[in-house]
A and B are shown apart, each in its own frame.
Chain A
Amino acid sequence: MHIDSIKNGIVLDHIKAGKAMELYRVLELNKLECSVAVLMNVPSQKMGRKDMIKIAEDYEVDLGILGYIDPGITVNIIRDGELVEKHTVDLPEKITGYLKCNNPRCITTTEQELQQVFKLANRETATYRCIYGEAEHK
């Protein structure tokens, strides 16, 4: 299978096999007007199998969300067919508007316009807590 290289845009590489569609949904890539290629189960020397996403235009990617979903991802920025930037991602200190607090006593359950914000409480266990009632995200 052959997918053309992109001239300008972003390549999300080293995505854990099977995670690409989740990223596609979370990053709302369906709303972009450019070409987006989702490659799944691609052979990889490093990972055995991996997923990749190629986005054929400049796109401000939320590195925090990427880090939360899969901290192993590499983000490659391509300009004029050349790799100009390469980022690795890590668990973000704060996640805004992605996780939802399940604590029935949390203020976010009654004031639904409030933005859901979680803070990293323990990096080793990847534990996040809601900033309002400090309930752990499960």
Chain B
Amino acid sequence: MRSLFDIVELSTAELDSLIATANDMMANPAKYAHVADGKKLATLFFEPSTRTRLSFEAAMMELGGNVLGFSEAQSSSASKGESVADTARVVSCYADIIAMRHPKEGAPLVAAMNATVPVINAGDGGHNHPTQTLADLLTISREKGRLDNLTVGFCGDLKFGRTVHSLIHAMVRYPNVKFVLVAPTELQVPDYVKKDVLLANNVEFVETTDLMEVIGDMDILYMTRVQHERFFNEEEYLRLRDSYILTPEKLKTAKPDLCIMHPLPRVNEISTAIDKDPRACYFKQVENGKFMRAALIMMLLGLEAK
């Protein structure tokens, strides 16, 4: 039995296989409509994340399975003081697989140490969110036709942005991928990511505070939100919130086939005027996420389409 906590646990061959399954599912949904008949997914969301929860639930429904769960800690036994370990043991009696979102880092690992069914990390604090990275990888693969030979730009909060760290982690394995990191000085990629991931893999990267200086080099521009919930200090949050806002003017020097991504929800980092630009891929990312989650559920449950 296998769980998933971090994108780096998946080999390149497994990522390729998940991408292939998701693409096939998008092309032939009927082939997958009964793959998980009789199976149940429990979505245990100890903090609200409507988007991720609905994506998991929709993914299970695409496969013909059923879903149960809760959407915030207040409506679970956690509000009575139950431990994550006990919740995982109990839910294992009801469901075949668990997707867990928790504000505390490492909670899904604790769940998996005690559950008797696979556990998928659906986001643990500022730590990992591997299924977002799966959505990102499918989006890049579909939009660019490859995962190698790319210049990938990240812009916004690169310090607390776990989706950024995970995608960097996932993409350093592909040949000739370069990174351009655009953030205010206070929100740059942490040193350990630079040292342990980028430098350790001899990956080329540039750090800058000026988006306009580098936007023309990028094949991918991954925008992120400065997340209120990651700040302990309100003043600091307000000062950095509006650091980078992508507008049609800023896209003038960008490549015509740039792929603009965002893990959503967006606050104001991407002007809505860009939504109709063919380079805007962030809503496609949402759909891709559902199919990658479905492919992952199949993999962890050992299910195959006939």
Contact = CB atoms under 8 A, between A and B. Distances in A.
Interface of A: 103, 105-111, 113-114, 121-122, 130-136
B46 to A, nearest CB: 10
Interface stretch (B61-69, B101-109, B295-303): B101-109
B124 A133 contact: yes
B192 A132 contact: no
Interface string B103-123: 111110110000000000000
B106 A133 contact: yes
Given A105-B125, A105-B126, A132 B83 contact: no
What 8 A-B pairs come out closest when comparing CB atoms?
Answer: A132-B106, A133-B105, A107-B104, A105-B125, A107-B106, A133-B106, A107-B107, A105-B105
Would you call the interface of chain B mostly helix, strand, loop, or mixed? mixed
B84 interface: yes
Contacts of A109: 104
Nearest to B111: A107
Given A105-B126, A132-B109, A113 B83 contact: yes
Interface in B114-163: 124-127
A128 to B, nearest CB: 13
Contacts of A135: 105
Contact of B83 (A111, A121, A130, A133): A111
Given A111-B83, A133-B124, A136-B192, A106 B110 contact: no
Contacts of A114: 85, 110
A114 B107 CA distance: 11
A113 B113 CA distance: 14
A108 B83 CA distance: 11
Nearest to B192: A136
A64 B118 CA distance: 31
Nearest to A101: B106
20 contacts: A103-B105, A105-B105, A105-B125, A106-B105, A107-B104, A107-B106, A107-B109, A107-B110, A107-B124, A109-B104, A111-B84, A111-B104, A111-B110, A131-B106, A131-B109, A132-B105, A132-B107, A132-B110, A133-B105, A133-B125
A22 to B, nearest CB: 28
Interface in B196-232: 196
Interface string B65-90: 00000000000000000011100000
A110 B127 contact: no
Interface of B: 83-85, 102-107, 109-110, 124-127, 192, 196
A103 B103 CA distance: 13
A111 B82 CA distance: 10
A110 B127 CA distance: 16
Nearest to A103: B105
B18 to A, nearest CB: 23
B295 to A, nearest CB: 26
Contact of B106 (A106, A121, A122, A136): A106
B192 A105 contact: no
A123 B84 CA distance: 32
Nearest to A113: B83
A113 B84 CA distance: 11
A132 B106 CA distance: 4
B104 A105 contact: yes
Contacts of B102: 107
Nearest to A105: B125
Contacts of A122: 196
